[in-house]
Structure 1
Amino acid sequence: MEINSNYKKRALIIFQILQLVLYLYLFLFSINLMGASFKLFGKEFAEMLISNTSNPLVGLFIGILATSLIQSSSSTTSMVVGMVGGGVLTVSNAIPIIMGANIGTSVTNTIVSMAHLNRSNEFRRSFAASTVHDFFNLLAVLVLFPIQYFTNTLGIVASYFAQSFQNVGGMTMFNPVKTITKPAVNLLMLWVGDHPWLLLIISLVILFFALKQMVTVLRVLVIKRAEVWFDKILFKNAFRAFMVGLIMTMLAQSSSITTSLVVPMAGAGILTLIQIFPYTLGANVGTTITAILASLVTGNLNAVIVAFAHLFFNIMGIIIWMPFSKVPIFLATTLAEFSLKNKLYPFLYIVIVFFVIPLAVILLFR
């Protein structure tokens, strides 16, 4: 009887793991589909924006808007690197766009957190976990943009390192996330056709469904059995969490995906904001690898300088704000608490910060 009971328990665990894998796949699929739909909306518009800027402040907000539209800082930075390599953009004009891309990329995990909106405690934890990424990027820009504007510090440091890599050929990294989800994304796009609104709606429905189911399974499976594994091994300390974020983002080539992955874990209460913060910093550094590889392909020194400027912007931001990590954590927690008062507030936050303000600044100062 006891053997039969143990067999049933093991079978249930295996079934729950398979469920989790399925919902994780649907989650990754929905994020890639959402990115593909946004690209149909805004890739040409983003390219047009990027190629026509000379004002650093406008460049910063172009980076935010372009990346919010195409949902990928890797795409924006690779686009910028290509334009610098082709002589369309100067290094001084490109660096503020890269800074803005860092802010724009955090819109994805903030959208992901909205799936928890109807469950107050889950939403408070998941919204704080997603917006801590926003606030770190905003604070880093707040300090480093004026320094870059007046001294070109990032350009100087990046130039020094880039010269060592000038004649190194580029390489492409294997992207496992795209490999497993792209066939399904392409098939659905072929079936739906050139209708970005429909693709976006489908992606959001799948995203919210997958997240809801993931949190349910995680509560049963992970909290009981693997919480210790996350808490004591992967996220044991800040350095380890940072390295997990960096390595996962290097492999996935998307900080949007890796930062979005921890949102349901925060919602389920598996990870705390203090554990997630260094993880997001690691993801920020990991996402710069794609642009560095793209720059090496061009063989253009200025393109390599821009890619390294992206890397050093993130490193300098970490050096400045890691000792004051309580500031972005406090801001994220406060915003999450405030957002519980009215379900409209988080939507307004996303629309105003990532779309309305950047567009207004671009139109006013262009």
Structure 2
Amino acid sequence: MTENILFILGGVAIFLYGIELMGDGLKRSAGNKIRTIIEKTTNTPLKGILVGILLTGLLQSSSGVTVLVIGLVGAGLMTLRQAVGVVFGANIGTTITSILIGLPIADYALLFVFVGVIMVFFFKRKMVQSIGTTILGFGLIFFGLDVMGSGLKEIVMTDYVHDLFLLFSDTSNSFFWFFGVTFGTLFTAAVQSSSAAIGIIQKLYHLNIEAGVQTFTLWGALPMILGANIGTTITGLLASINGTLEAKRVSAIHIMFNLIGTTIFLILLWPYHEIVEWVERTFLEPYSMATLAVAHVMMNVVTTLILFWFIDLMIKFTHVIIKDKPYNDELEVIFSESLLQETPSLALYYVKKGINKMGDLAKNYFLLAKRYSFTNEDGVVDKAEAIENTLDDYDKRLHDYMIKLVRNNSLSEKDSNRLSRDLDTIRDFERIGDHLTNLVGFFKNRYNENQVLSKGGEEDLRHYYRILEEMFDVTLASFVFNDVEKAKIAIEYETLTDKLEEKFRLSYVERLKAGELNFTSKTNYVEILSNLERIGDHLKNIAENIINPMRVPRLDTEDNPLE
């Protein structure tokens, strides 16, 4: 008995690891293309269904795809309506694993393992290693099932297990379906994968032949498969708990899909059983693992065909049960812990969306400081403080998220370069915020001391702000679109800002000599020019990183005591 239990535990472990390994290999083979696929092909629910099938085939887990979609919706790349299509498709795509398991290729499991190991350990090319990982995982799935079956073969013949399976299969018991659905739900929730749970159920069903005793019938297996479709929603539910409202709605639709589908097929359990049994009797062998693969495909395809016509109604219902509320934390919709593991290159893409928001915030702060330089508006100091705190918060959270990204994953050279550039960029935006806070503080002091800009001083400042605003716009555009030509223009602007700072400082000295204004310690005009010039320096840093992300990071040697 102990040996059999070890075979079962070891077999399940190898089986689950095989599914994980196969999905990981497929993901690494095509992971960098996932963002492009999603962006270009989910503009309608029907296309979303096809994308959902494809993604689930890559990730080998409908739960994983649902978690990924929750992150995509939260990041603003997909609408809820598009996400519904992908979730529907994921439920069809998850049947791919059960179809593969149902194929008669178990005798070649160790051959797949051997080929996969050779490709992983004896080839240097990343793509070959990724394909090898996929093949290795594929072989381990079947090998794990065989090991598990070796242990189960003896145990399913014991009186206790025999009676348990009869409980699931005894149609004279009005609640036999309830026991099967409950077992399937709990077991799937435990292993966090409907593909894995159904694969094990397929093996249990097939053991009727190997054990030579009919203990686990189709009546017992079908409710378990229906329960597995409910259990797979747990992962998405957990992923959405701390997510946005839209993320919660995606999870709700995933749960609705599986609950409605399960309910329909439980109501129609008798015709469902008769159709699957006819397929088995006509095209397959008794107790074939492919039988339950057919049942799994049928359940999800039919549910999709029915609910496709009610997508808008389902979306409206989620808005009723998950009501809108004020939401101000824009970064929260960017971050997704699931993306850190599922698709790191996609997580890095969303980091850039967060930096774009940080850049827009810095630009708005610049315009606020510009207005305050010429007009003493009420409430500006409080607004400035709030924006500065938000920029500091963005800096810390984006930095921490990127560090977690690089620690949790082996990034490609291209993604590593992007991450290094982006770390520099968030630092530059944060420093720009510091200089703008200085400017607001300088003008607050001037207003308190009734210091009025001279006509020449105001003209020079307005000119300087105009040039910096143009530089700000072209720098942000160069970063958002990775436009090298715009980055070069931004660097040309920086040369101009250096010259203007020197020219306007000399003009200020000339006005002092001419007696056009009185010098006091509260004037701060030179410091104002200096901070504007440093803003130009940081914009130049951002532009230089666009032109050459491989350049040696500069040392930030600013030592302004007022910052």
Question: TM-score with structure 2 length normalisation?
Answer: 0.43
Mapped to 1, the partners of 2:59 and 2:95 lie a distance apart of: 12
Mapped to 1, the partners of 2:122 and 2:182 lie a distance apart of: 40
Report the alpha carbon displacement of residue 192 of structure 1 after superposing the two structures with TM: 7.8
1:241 partnered with 2:186 = no
1:214 partnered with 2:177 = no
- Letter paired with 2:232: T
Partner of 1:250: 189
Mapped to 2, the partners of 1:326 and 1:223 lie a distance apart of: 28
Query: Aligned pair in 2 of structure 1 residues 303, 24: CA closer, same or farther (>3 Å)?
Result: closer
Report the alpha carbon displacement of residue 273 of structure 1 after superposing the two structures with TM: 1.8
- Letter paired with 1:203: G
Which residue, out of 26, 29, 38, partners 1:50? 38
Q: Secondary structure at the match of 1:314?
A: helix
1:78-97 alignment to 2 at 5 Å?
78-97=67-86
Partner of 2:532: none
Question: TM-score with structure 1 length normalisation?
Answer: 0.64
Mapped to 2, the partners of 1:115 and 1:196 lie a distance apart of: 25
Report the alpha carbon displacement of residue 116 of structure 1 after superposing the two structures with TM: 6.6
1:276 partnered with 2:276 = no
Partner of 1:198: 132
Mapped to 1, the partners of 2:37 and 2:221 lie a distance apart of: 33
- Give the number of the structure whose residues are more often helix, by fraction: 1
1:70-109 alignment to 2 at 5 Å?
70-109=59-98
- Letter paired with 1:207: I
- Alpha-carbon contact 1:84-1:302 (below 8 Å) kept: yes
Q: Secondary structure at the match of 2:78?
A: coil
- Alpha-carbon contact 2:74-2:247 (below 8 Å) kept: yes
1:16 partnered with 2:4 = yes
Query: Aligned pair in 2 of structure 1 residues 117, 257: CA closer, same or farther (>3 Å)?
Result: closer
- Letter paired with 1:284: N
1:104-253 alignment to 2 at 5 Å?
104-115=93-104, 194=126, 195-232=129-166, 237-253=176-192
- Letter paired with 2:158: K
Query: Aligned pair in 2 of structure 1 residues 282, 223: CA closer, same or farther (>3 Å)?
Result: same
Report the alpha carbon displacement of residue 229 of structure 1 after superposing the two structures with TM: 4.7
Q: Secondary structure at the match of 1:78?
A: helix
Partner of 2:26: 38
Q: Secondary structure at the match of 1:223?
A: coil
- Alpha-carbon contact 1:60-1:99 (below 8 Å) kept: yes
- Alpha-carbon contact 2:204-2:216 (below 8 Å) kept: yes
Computed over aligned residues only, the root mean square deviation of the Cα atoms, in angstroms, reads 3.2
Report the alpha carbon displacement of residue 65 of structure 1 after superposing the two structures with TM: 1.6
Report the alpha carbon displacement of residue 334 of structure 1 after superposing the two structures with TM: 4.1
Mapped to 2, the partners of 1:279 and 1:306 lie a distance apart of: 25
Partner of 1:259: 198
Mapped to 2, the partners of 1:218 and 1:252 lie a distance apart of: 18
Partner of 2:252: 308
Report the alpha carbon displacement of residue 114 of structure 1 after superposing the two structures with TM: 2.1
- Alpha-carbon contact 2:106-2:142 (below 8 Å) kept: no
Mapped to 1, the partners of 2:196 and 2:233 lie a distance apart of: 14
Q: Secondary structure at the match of 2:157?
A: helix
- Letter paired with 1:62: V
Mapped to 2, the partners of 1:19 and 1:290 lie a distance apart of: 28
Mapped to 2, the partners of 1:296 and 1:337 lie a distance apart of: 45
Identity %: 29
Per-residue CA deviation, residues 4-27 of structure 1 (Å, 9 max, x unaligned), is xxxxxxxxx222322332223222
Mapped to 1, the partners of 2:120 and 2:242 lie a distance apart of: 30
- Alpha-carbon contact 1:249-1:287 (below 8 Å) kept: yes
Per-residue CA deviation, residues 277-321 of structure 1 (Å, 9 max, x unaligned), is 1112221112112212222222x2122111101111111112222
- Alpha-carbon contact 1:30-1:206 (below 8 Å) kept: yes
- Alpha-carbon contact 2:18-2:140 (below 8 Å) kept: yes
- Alpha-carbon contact 2:229-2:258 (below 8 Å) kept: yes
Query: Aligned pair in 2 of structure 1 residues 19, 290: CA closer, same or farther (>3 Å)?
Result: closer
- Letter paired with 1:107: I
Aligned length: 266
Structure number with higher relative contact order (C-alpha < 8 Å, ≥ 6 residues apart): 1
Q: Secondary structure at the match of 1:297?
A: coil
Mapped to 2, the partners of 1:213 and 1:251 lie a distance apart of: 20
Partner of 1:286: 231
Report the alpha carbon displacement of residue 242 of structure 1 after superposing the two structures with TM: 0.8
